[in-house]
């Protein structure tokens, strides 16, 4: 859940967190955003089902490293938003409007809309649905490689 008193500057989906963790090209941008959020006292949120995707991807490679991964994520300015019934229903509505979207991606889109936060994603379809910072292999028109500047107490 969001940390009390901390503004949510970004919502991150599993593709963005995996890009960071796996050292993909967009991961450097995610790292800069995380560092900037930490310095400004803001946070990045990920949905519970998004975090599950990250853990599942890690478990298929090395199940023994799940605890290490959890420890690493705990050190980041990231909070986990549980997948509530309300969030699931809103995400289902997004899926009905955009059937090519992955289920987890729809909850990240909804959370981003609810928070008025920028979505960090490597999914071009998701990036087209909300205000986003695309960290995938090819930048979409209208998105910047540089994360926007945030200051403590500013509105994202």
- What is the average per-residue pLDDT within 17-40? 94
pLDDT given at position 147: 47
Domain boundaries, the chain: 8-134
Q: What is the DSSP string of 6-18?
A: --EEEEE-HHHHH
Q: Per the confidence metrics, is the pTM higher than 0.85?
A: no
Report which DSSP code applies to 64: G
pLDDT given at position 108: 96
If you average pLDDT over every residue of the chain, what do you get?
86
- What is the average per-residue pLDDT within 63-85? 92
pLDDT in tens, 40-50: 999 999 999 99
Q: Which has the minimum average pLDDT: 10-14, 58-62, 92-96, 138-142?
A: 138-142
Long-range contacts of the stretch 103-109 (C-beta < 8 A, 24+) = 103/49, 104/13, 104/14, 104/47, 104/49, 104/50, 104/52, 104/53, 105/13, 107/47, 107/49, 107/50, 107/83, 108/11, 108/12, 108/13, 108/14, 108/46, 108/47, 108/50
Among residues of the chain, what percentage have pLDDT more than 70? 83
Residue 154, pLDDT above cutoff 70: no
Buried b (16+ CB within 10 A) or exposed e, 2-23: eeeebbbbbbbbbbbbbbbbee
pLDDT given at position 59: 87
- State the Cα–Cα distance between residues 56 and 115, nearest whole angstrom: 26
Which residues share a beta bridge with 80? Answer: 46
Residue 155, pLDDT above cutoff 80: no
Q: What is the CATH number of domain 8-134?
A: 3.40.50.1010
pLDDT given at position 142: 46
pLDDT in tens, 85-144: 999 999 999 999 999 998 888 999 999 999 999 999 999 999 999 999 999 986 544 444
The answer to whether 12 touches 46, Cβ cutoff 8 Å, is yes
- State the Cα–Cα distance between residues 84 and 77, nearest whole angstrom: 22
């Amino acid at each position: 859940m969001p940390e009390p008193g901390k503004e949510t500057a970004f919502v991150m989906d599993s593709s963005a967190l995996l890009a960071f963790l796996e050292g993909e090209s967009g991961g450097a941008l995610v790292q800069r955003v995380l560092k900037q959020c930490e310095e400004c006292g803001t946070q990045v949120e990920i949905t519970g089902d998004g975090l599950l995707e990250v853990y599942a991807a890690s478990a298929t490679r090395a199940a023994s490293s799940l605890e290490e991964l959890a420890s690493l994520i705990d050190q980041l300015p990231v909070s986990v938003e549980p997948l509530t019934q309300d969030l699931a229903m809103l995400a289902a509505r997004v899926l009905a409007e955009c059937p090519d979207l992955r289920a987890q991606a729809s909850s990240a889109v909804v959370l981003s809309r609810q928070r008025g936060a920028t979505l960090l994603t490597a999914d071009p379809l998701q990036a087209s649905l909300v205000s986003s910072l695309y960290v995938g292999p090819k930048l979409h028109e209208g998105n910047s490689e540089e994360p926007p500047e945030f200051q403590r107490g500013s509105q994202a």
